[in-house]
Amino acid sequence: MIIICPSCKKKFNLDINLIPSEGRDLQCGSCEHIWFYKKQEPISEPLQIKEDIAIKEKEDSDKLNGDRSKDQLIKKPVEENKKVKSELLKFKETESKTEVIKKTQSSKLFSYLIVFIISLGALIILLDTLKTPLINIFPGLEVLLFNLYETLKDIKLFIIDLS
């Protein structure tokens, strides 16, 4: 099944079995836009009009004998219902957009934190590996590296004590 991102219009081939009948959130791999997708049942037969609407409207207007008050009484609740539905849809859209923004902001922060921790670990491993050549070039670096290693040992002991 081909699904199109509503934001960037990129097309994706997706297994239909991955989407439950109640729908699910999807994220575009290109622009990272998140949207809710629900399966749509395919229409097996084309729709056909069985009645001529123009003739039926003329018959209805003849029945009312020019009395538009009944017609207005019927249309009024329908129009009010449409307004309420449109307001609810707008509210749901803004609510879902704020939820998506919060999710993406927290996931980005978490991703940055993980990258920072991995980079810090890689820097420490690099400094430990190149300790001797660095000390030969920068003699004052030996004291700084010793203090760094001692601080890391203290942090390790602190984390162990928390357990």
Sign of CA dihedral 99, 105, 108, 109: negative
Sign of CA dihedral 112, 115, 116, 117: positive
52 pLDDT band, cuts 50/70/90, is low
**Does residue 133 carry a pLDDT above 70?**
yes
- Return the higher-pLDDT residue of 28 and 99: 28
Tens of pLDDT, residue by residue over 70-113, are 555 555 666 676 776 777 667 666 666 666 666 677 778 888 99
8 pLDDT band, cuts 50/70/90, is confident
Q: What is the pLDDT of residue 116?
A: 94
0.75 exceeded by the pTM? Answer: no
- Return the higher-pLDDT residue of 10 and 71: 10
Question: b/e string for 105-125 if b means 16 or more Cβ within 10 A?
Answer: eeeeeeeeeeeeeeeeeeeee
Query: Among the listed ranges 17-21, 26-30, 120-124, 130-134, which one has the minimum average pLDDT value?
Result: 17-21
Q: What is the pLDDT of residue 91?
A: 65
Q: What is the pLDDT of residue 39?
A: 76
- In angstroms, the CA 18 to CA 27 distance is 13
**Does residue 68 carry a pLDDT above 60?**
no
